[in-house]
Structure 1
Amino acid sequence: MSAYAVTPYMKSYQQLLAVPTFGDLDAYARAVNSVPMLTPEQEYDLSMAYRADPNNLYAAHTLVISHLRVVVAQARKYAGYGLPQGDLIQEGSIGLMKAVKRFDPTRGVRLVSFAMHWIKAEMHEYIVKNWRMVKIATTKAQRKLFFNLRSMKEGEHMSQDEIHKMAKVLSVKPEEVVEMDKRLSGRDIAVDGGMDDGDEPQHMVPLAYLADETQEPTQILARQQEDKRQTEGLQNALALLDERSRTIVQSRWLANDDDKALTLHDLAAQFGISAERVRQIESAAMKKMKSFLSEAYAQ
C-alpha cells in the first residue's frame, strides 16, 4: 500500500480515540464527521492492503473510521422507534466492520454502497429484538413492512386504496398493513390506570383484561408435552420415508418462514422426473405418514 494515508489519517484517528465513545453523541458525531472521506484510489489501496494482510489493523481502522459518519446518519433515520441512538450507532458500527471484512474493491463498487446493507441489517435486527411491541415482525415480509410503512404513508390515516397498494408492493396482506399501522401508531398507557377521582381502582384498564388464562402453569406444561409429542411423531413419520420422498415432503410442506417452499416443477427439475411423478410420490408419502400418525395418536 502506498504511504499517502499515514500522515493525514493518523492525526484524525488519534483525535477520534480521544472522544468519549457515546457519552456525548453530538461530540461523537462531530468527531466522525471531521474525518475526511477516502478518495476512490485511497479506498482501493487500503482495501487491497487489508485483503492481502488481515492483520493490517491500520488499513481496517482507517476504512471503518472514515465511514462512521454513514452509520451516524443512518441511525438518525431510525430515531422514531424510541431506541437509544448510541445503541443504534454501536450496532451499525458492527455492521460496518463486517462489511469492511468482506469488501472486495476489485468488483468496482464503493465501500459506502456495499456497507449500507450490513449497517441496516444490524440496526434492523436490534430494533426488531428490542422494540416495545413483542413479535411485531416475525417474517421477512413483515420486517420489510415494519421498516417501510412510515415512509410510505402519505398521511396520518390511510385509505383502502393506499392500504392495498402498500400490501401489493411489500408482498403482505392488507390486514397486516392495517395491524402494523395500529401497532406503530399506538401509544404506551399505564397497565393499571392508576386511581380515579374516588380513589377506587379503574376497571376498564389493560390490567383488567390482559390476564391470560392460557399461561396457567399446568396448561403451559400440557402444551409443551403435546408439542413435543407432535414433533417426535412427525420426525418418526418422516423417518419411515425413503430419502427422496422425505426431501419432497420437507421441501413442499415443512419449509421455514425464511425458506420458500418448492413447487412440483422445482422438485421435478431437481430429481430429473416429471411434475406428475413428484405429485404421486408426495401423495403416497403423505398417506403413509398420516396412517402412522393416526395409529400413534390412537395409542
Structure 2
Amino acid sequence: MYQTVSQPLPSVGSGLTHYLAQIRKFPILTHEEETNFARRWRQHGDRDAAYRLVTSHLRLVAKIAMRYRGYGLPIADIVSEGNIGLMHAVRRFDPERGIRLSTYAMWWIKATIQEYVLRSWSLVKISANSAQKKLFFKLRRTKSAISALDDGDLRPDQVKTISERLKVSEHEVVNMDRRLRGDVSLNSRTNGAQDAGDALERLVDPSPRHDIAFAEDEELSKRRAALKAAIQTLNPREKHIFTERYLNEDPPKLETLAMEYGISRERIRQIELRAFQKVKSAMQQGEPAKRSAQPNGPAHSISSPSLKRGC
C-alpha cells in the first residue's frame, strides 16, 4: 500500500472482530471537519489530515467489503483491497466539488475490491467445467429459494434438493457451499457472551443517502457501457466465445464450442483466455481518460498502484 497517511492503520490480520472494534474507535467527521482536513491535505500535504480522512472512513470500507464475502475469498484481503481504494480516493478528493468523501470514495473502494475478485476468480472461470460454473453462479440463488440461509453447513435434505436442481453431485454442493461461505459470519457470539450480530450494521449510518444511491446507479451504468464497448474490440469469433462462456448464465462446455467451430477444445480455451484479457485491457485503458477529468492530489503525493475495474 502506498503511503498517504503518516501513521499505521489497524490491521485486519489480527482477526475480524478485533479489527471492527478498532475501527469503530475512530470518530466520523462532520462535513466541516472533513472539508478542513481535505483542504489541509490537498493544499499542504498534511499527512495527519489524510490519516484522519482515511480512518474516519474505514468502517465504510468494511461495510462494502462484506458484500463480497459470498465469493469465498479471505475477508482480510477484501478489506485490505478496499482500504487501498479508499486511499486512492483520499489522494484525489477535492472538497470544493460539493460532495462528501464517502460518496466519492465508494467508487474507488468498489473498483479495487471488484478487481481483486475478478483477478482471483478469473482462473476459476476459465478452467472450471460447465457444471462447476453453474454451481458457482447459482448456488446462492438456489439456497435462497429453499430458505437455506443459515451460516452453518447445509442440512442433508437441502444438499440433496440443491444437487437435484442444479444437476451436480451432493459432494460438489457441499464443497462449493463451504468455499463460498469463506470466513465465519459476523452474526456470531463474541467471547461467548457479547452479541456481535449487528456489528456490521452499526458500522455506518444506516439511513438512506440519495447521493450514494445516485452514485451507485451512475457507476452501474458506466460499467455496463464500458463492458459493452470493451466487447466491441473483439473479433466475431472471440466475441461469440466470450459472450457464451462469460455472460451466459448456463455457459456451454468447451467441447460444444469446439465442435461448433471445428477446432480443438484447447484452442477454444486459448481464444477464451485471449478474449478475456482483451476485454479486461480495454476496460483498463478507459480509466486514464476518465481520471484525467478528476483533479489530482498534491504534486508530492506518492503514486499509487494502477487501479483496474472489474467487469
User: Normalising to structure 1: TM-score of the pair?
Assistant: 0.44
Structure with the larger helix share: 1
Higher Cα Rg: structure 1 or 2? Answer: 1
Higher RCO, Cα 8 Å, sep 6+: 2
User: Normalising to structure 2: TM-score of the pair?
Assistant: 0.42
